[in-house]
Structure formats: structure tokens, C-alpha cells
Chains A and B, each alone.
Chain A
Amino acid sequence: MNRPQWHTRNRPSPPILQLVTGALVLSACLAACAPGSSEAAAPEAALANKGSDTMVNLALAWAEAYQRVQPDVRLSVTGGGSGTGIAALINGTVDIANASRAIKDEEREQARANGVEPVEYVVAQDAIAIVVHPDNPVDRLTLPQLSALYRGEIVNWREVGGEDRPVVLLSRETNSGTHVFFLEHVVRLGRSDDKSLFSVETLLMPSSEGISAEVRQNPNAIGYDGLGYVTDDMKTLAIAASDGAPYVLPTIATVTDKSYPIARDLYMYTRGQPAGRVQAYMDWVLGPQAQAIVAELGFVPVR
């Protein structure tokens, strides 16, 4: 797996990106609000795009590339979280909402009450790789084993077929969307009534690099991160969805055919069936140029 060309996949969007976002919004506003530009006063000159922080870098990269293709369309991209984006879509303040989770039923009902029928597009996928030190003999785990490890029920690698070594759990900080996804789908195995938490012994690393550095040098460690961050000096584990299920390594192919269990879809929602500029943009997003950007940033393309 190649490292992403520009290293902008930190989940809490770094300040510089927010600046870029701000600058994009500002330039959109300057174009729309400048009193001199009366000849270009088309009301839908700017497409507003808001939501998931996980996707903000992807959405920004798309917006930048699209502006080279269609210089007359202006895109403003903001983060804030999936829920914020969907709420803005319901209230009609944005044209497209980005979400790293599917829209909830109550949100869909709220939207209908406002006369909006959100239309869903799966625009990319995100695989979460489980990584260990290359010297660790363990090369496969089941999801229940992984859950037991992160709950602190398994504390020695011996219990999952490894050497007699203590397990050191690594996680991203709690403000990371990946942390929350991992909590819900791995630690709690997707059961919404399950209230178990990460083991208190879990090391919360402030950055992806923190996890990588510790996994590279510590044979006791296990960590998780987006597929785009995995380098050759770590070992990626094959994961089985349940006991007896086949073990699968995360690759673009296994994420696409849904055989790799720790992957999620990334969504965009539009207000009703899109038309005009929104439709043109959505078609472009699902086209080859935009999907190539998906792979570049370490996500999994859907086409």
C-alpha cells in the first residue's frame, strides 16, 4: 500500500486545512458577494459542501481538482462532523452533506418534514487496518478476539496464538472519528445495547504517527489506523468477521467486495434528486478522476 502523497488524513482536521477551508469559503463569498460581479450573479454559483471531518480532506481535494475542470463552479467545503452536515442539509443551508455514517431514520424523517428527500451516494470506502510489530508471530485474529483484546479481557499474546508477551493496546484519541467507529464496530461488535468501553490500559496516541512509531519498535503492541497510513515496516493482520469465517487482509479488492470486516462506507447526501451543477458534480465525484484522488488519499475507491 502506498503512503498517501500528501499527508492530510489526520482525523481532527489540522488548523492549516481549516484555513484552506476558510480560504475556499472566503473566495466563494468574494466571488458571490463582490458588487462588481453582477454579470455572474447566478444564484447557484457556489456549491456548499459540509460534514464529516474524516472526509474533509477528501472533499477539499475533490473541490480543488473540480475547480480546475469547471472553473465557473465554486465549491465551499467545511467540516464539523457528519451530524452537523446532515443537519445543514435538512435546514437547506448546504447542497451536499458529507457523512462517514449512513443517515439515521429520524434524520430522514426530519428532512421529509422539511420537504427534503436526501439522496444517498456512497462516494468512497475507508478500511481500518490492524497493525502489529513485524516480529509478532500472530498474523490473524477474529473480530471477537480483537474485541476481547481491546476490552482488556485478553492480556497476553499467548492467548491468541502468539508468544508469552503482554499486550499493549494502542488507539487514537477519543476525539477521532476512527476511535468512535472502532469502539462501536470492534469493541462492541456493532451491538448498540453493549456499553463496554476500551480497556483503561489502552494507550491513547495523539497522532497516527504516534501509533506507527510504537508499533514499529514494540513487539507487544497492537494498533489500528486507516489503510493509507500502513507502511511496510508494520505487519497488517488478517481479520475474520467471526469464529470460523475466513481471514481477510485489508486491500482495495477485499474492501470493495465487503469481505474485509472493519470497513465503512463514506457518504454524500444531496437534497432530492440532484440537477444542474450538483448533478454534474456528483457524476464527476463518482467518475475516474475523482476516484483516483480517493486512492491517493488512502481511502478505497468505489468505482
Chain B
Amino acid sequence: MPTSLLTLKPQPAPRGRWTEFITEALIRAAGYSAVLFVGLILLFLLREGLPAFAEVQVTDLFSARWYPIEAHFGLLPLISGSLIVTAGAVLIAVPFGLATAIFIAEIAPRWLREFLKPFIEVLGGLPSVVLGFMGMLVLAPWVRETLGTPTGLTAFTGSVLLAGMALPTLVSVAEDALDAVPRSYRDAALALGATPWQTIWRVTLPAARTGVLTATMLGIGRAIGETMTVMMVTGNAARLPDGPAALFLPVRTMTATIAAEMGEVANGSAHYHVLFTIGIALFVISFVVNLAASAVVFQQKKRSERLLS
């Protein structure tokens, strides 16, 4: 744009080049540092976690019993526990978050929208321990009385709270994505005689699919890594799930196990190394989730580009 070019005042050449060089170097370093840190963390996890495979038999790691003080190191209940809580959270958060995002972006009048969005984002700033405490004292008794489960400290209770924590990110990102869909798409759909609902469901939402998917992945990431809340409300019983009903029974997640046991474990013991193995498992799971997400996003882009061309 010519106007912006005109407003740029020419800098004294050497100083301008220097600052430019330094800024560029700093930004480059910041960009690479993320990769470096992830690499270093992985190395650290591998160094501390891999000895577990020498100290504990692999068949033992895949057994169904986690009782580390008597050398029962079965990881299956912990892995499945984390997966159940996360799946529950996603099942609750995605429909609810998407509906909220659609309402804010497409339906709500401007004044309501300007009130709702910051409000939802404030929700994301709640410390997880506060949510956990509320979950323990308010949500858990409610779950037990309403659903008739033996205890309110269940995977479901954790899922509800995690969904609440993932919602602000999910809504915010999904709403941005919906908002970025060009006005002309909606106008075209409405001009062809589509109802507002048909426009949202068939045109706007598919066009924003990439952003919505990113929002979902961010939500999953938040849910699987959350520690304090799940430790307080899921009961921490390392039981292997035996069906869909397990969602309404206590579980023990990987994160809660590391948090509860790392503080007291003898440095260098088999238990210590197995806790790091759990860390590796968590790392791998979030890596796979992210990889799957970017693969889907990439594919989507290619398809939409094809369609548009």
C-alpha cells in the first residue's frame, strides 16, 4: 500500500541494518528454541525413563495392576484412565463449545457478543486447583446423588471440570475461525435461498473447519495434561476400565500418578524410572494428537485450495 510506504521514514543506514540484524537473529533464535526445548525435554525423559525397561519386565509394565510400593508397575490402568477422562471432556466440550462459538459469531447481536466473549475468556484464567476444590465439594456430591454412582469422585466428574477448563480456549479459537469466514460466503448462501441454519451448518462451519479442528486439539491438549483438578476429583483408583460404564467410576490418570508419587519416590529407583516412563507415554500421546491434527489440517487446506481454484 503506497500510503504506508510513504509514512516509513528512512533510517540511518548502519544503525537500521544492525537493529534489523539483531531483531532477526532474536526472532530466529526464539523460533528454533521451541524445537530445542522439546528435544531436550524428550532427551531428559528418555534418559530417566528408559532404564525402567531394564529394571521392570515389559510384560509387567503392561499388566493391569499399579501398586508401585510392592513393585506392581502396570501402566494400562493409568493410560486408559487418562484416555477416558480426556475422551469424556472432549465429548462434552466440543459440542458445547462449538454451539457457544456459533452463537457468538453468527447469531448473537453485536452488544451481546462483545459482552460474552471476554467473559468466556476470563473463565479460562481460573486456577485449576480452585476448580478442583469446587468439583470436590460441589460437583462430586451432585454427581453421586443425581446419577446414583457409588461415589461422586469419578472420571465423569473430572471430564466435566476439564471440559469447563478447555471451553474458553475452544470457544475463543473456534469463534475467531468462524469470524474469519468471508462475509460473501454467507451472503451467497442466503441469496441462494438457504435458511440461516443451513448457512451456518453447510457453509460457514465447513469453511472454518481448520480453525475449529485446531480449537478441538488445543482443548484435548489442555485436558490430557491437566493434573491438579483430576487428582482432586477422579478418586485415583487405578482400576482397568471394563466397559463404557467406567466413565462413571473412579480412575487414576497418568498426570495425577506422577504428581502424587514423584515427591516421595527414591531417586534412581525402579519406581522413579517408571514415573518417567509415564512421562514418555504422555509425551508420545500429545505428540500423536498434534501430528494427527496437523495432518488433517494440511489435507483440508489442499482440498479447499483445489475447490477454490
Show the binding face of A for B, using Cβ within 8 Å.
Answer: 12, 165-168, 173-175, 180, 195, 197-198, 200-206, 210, 213-214, 217-218, 220-221
Using a CB–CB distance below 8 Å, which chain B residues touch chain A? Answer: 65, 67-70, 72, 77, 136-137, 140-141, 144, 150-153, 231-232, 235-240, 250, 252, 259-261, 263-265
Contacts of A174 in B (CB 8 A): 67-69, 261
Given the interface pairs A218-B144, A220-B151, the reply to whether A203 lies near B237 with Cβ below 8 Å is: yes
Q: How far is the CB of A177 from chain B (nearest CB, A)?
A: 10
Known: A173-B260, A175-B264, A217-B141. A206 touches B236 (CB 8 A): yes
Interface pair B150/A200, CB less than 8 Å apart: no
Which residues of the other chain, A, contact B261 by a CB distance below 8 angstroms?
173-175
Residues of chain B within 8 A (CB-CB) of A217 are 137, 140-141, 144, 152
**Bound-state Cα–Cα, A167 to B141, Å:** 16
A213, closest chain B residue (CB): B136
Distance in angstroms between the alpha carbons of A243 and B237 in the assembled complex: 30
**What is the CA–CA distance of A179 and B239 in the complex, to the nearest angstrom?**
18
Give complex CA distance A252, B68 in Å.
Answer: 34
Contact assessment for B151 and A200 in the assembled complex, using a CB-CB cutoff below 8 Å: no
Main secondary structure of the interface of A (DSSP, over half): loop
- A-B pairs with beta carbons under 8 Å apart, 6 shown: A174-B67, A174-B68, A197-B70, A201-B250, A214-B153, A218-B141
Given A173-B260, A217-B141: 18 more A-B contacts, CB < 8 Å: A174-B67, A174-B69, A175-B263, A180-B69, A198-B67, A200-B77, A201-B237, A201-B239, A203-B236, A206-B259, A206-B260, A210-B232, A214-B153, A217-B144, A218-B141, A218-B144, A218-B151, A221-B151
Q: How far is the CB of A14 from chain B (nearest CB, A)?
A: 10
Contacts of B68 in A (CB 8 A): 174
- Name the residue of chain B whose CB is nearest to the CB of A195: B70
Output the least CB separation between A167 and chain B (Å): 8
Bound-state CA distance A205–B231 (Å) is 8
Q: A299 → chain B, closest Cβ, in Å?
A: 21
Q: Would B236 and A200 count as touching, CB distance under 8 A?
A: no
Which residues from chain A contact B252 at a C-beta distance below 8 Å? 204
| In the complex with contacts A12-B263, A12-B264, A197-B67, A168-B236 CB distance below 8 A | no
Known contacts A12-B264, A168-B151, A197-B67; A203/B144 CB under 8 A: no
Which one of A198, A200, A217, A218 has the highest number of Cβ atoms from chain B below 10 Å of its Cβ? A200
Closest residue on chain B to residue A220 by CB atoms: B150
The distance from the CB of B281 to the nearest CB of chain A, in whole angstroms, is 20
Closest approach, in angstroms, between the C-beta of B279 and any C-beta of chain A?
18
Q: In the complex the two chains form, is B237's CB within 8 Å of A204's CB? A: yes
**Is A200 touching B260 in the complex (CB atoms < 8 A)?**
no
Which B residues are in CB contact (< 8 Å) with A205?
236
Contact B239 A200 (CB under 8 A): yes
- Determine whether the beta carbon of B260 is less than 8 Å from that of A203: no
Best-buried of B68, B237, B238, B261 by chain A (most CB within 10 Å): B237
B residues less than 8 Å from A168 (CB atoms): 150-151
A217 to B239, CA, bound (A): 23
A227 to B151, CA, bound (A): 24
In Å, the complex CA distance between A213 and B69 comes to 26
- Report B-chain residues with C-beta under 8 Å of the C-beta of A220: 150-151
Q: In this complex, what residue of B is CB-closest to A53? A: B264
Point out the residues of chain B lying under 8 angstroms from A12, CB to CB.
Answer: 263-264
Given contacts A168-B151, A197-B70, A221-B151, A202 and B232 within 8 Å (CB-CB): no
Q: How distant is the Cα of A217 from the Cα of B72 in the complex, in angstroms?
A: 32
Across the interface, which residues of B come within 8 angstroms of A210, CB to CB?
A: 136, 232
Q: When chains A and B are docked, how far (Å) is the Cα of A204 from the Cα of B152?
A: 14
Residue of A nearest to B238 (CB): A200
Assembled-state Cα–Cα distance A58/B247 (Å): 42
Contact residues in B for A198 (Cβ distance below 8 Å): 67
Determine the residue in chain B with the shortest Cβ distance to A169. B237
Write out the residue numbers on chain B whose beta carbons fall within 8 Å of the beta carbon of A201.
237, 239, 250
Q: Is the CB of B67 within 8 A of A203?
A: no
Name, among A165, A204, A218, the residue most crowded by chain B CB atoms within 10 Å (CB to CB). A204
Give chain A residues whose Cβ lies under 8 Å from the Cβ of B70: 195, 197
- Residues in A with CB closer than 8 Å to B263 are 12, 175
- A214 CA to B72 CA, complexed, in Å: 27
Q: Return chain A residues, CB-CB under 8 Å to B265.
A: 175
Collect the chain A residues with CB atoms within 8 Å of residue B232's CB.
206, 210
Q: Is the CB of B151 within 8 A of A175?
A: no
**B265 to chain A: closest residue by CB:** A175
Closest to A11 in B: B264
Q: In the bound complex, do residue A204 and residue B236 qualify as a contact, i.e. CB atoms below 8 Å apart?
A: yes
**Residue among B68, B235, B240, B259 having the largest count of chain A Cβ atoms under 10 Å:** B235
Q: Kindly state the separation between the CA atoms of A210 and B263 in the bound complex, as whole angstroms.
A: 18
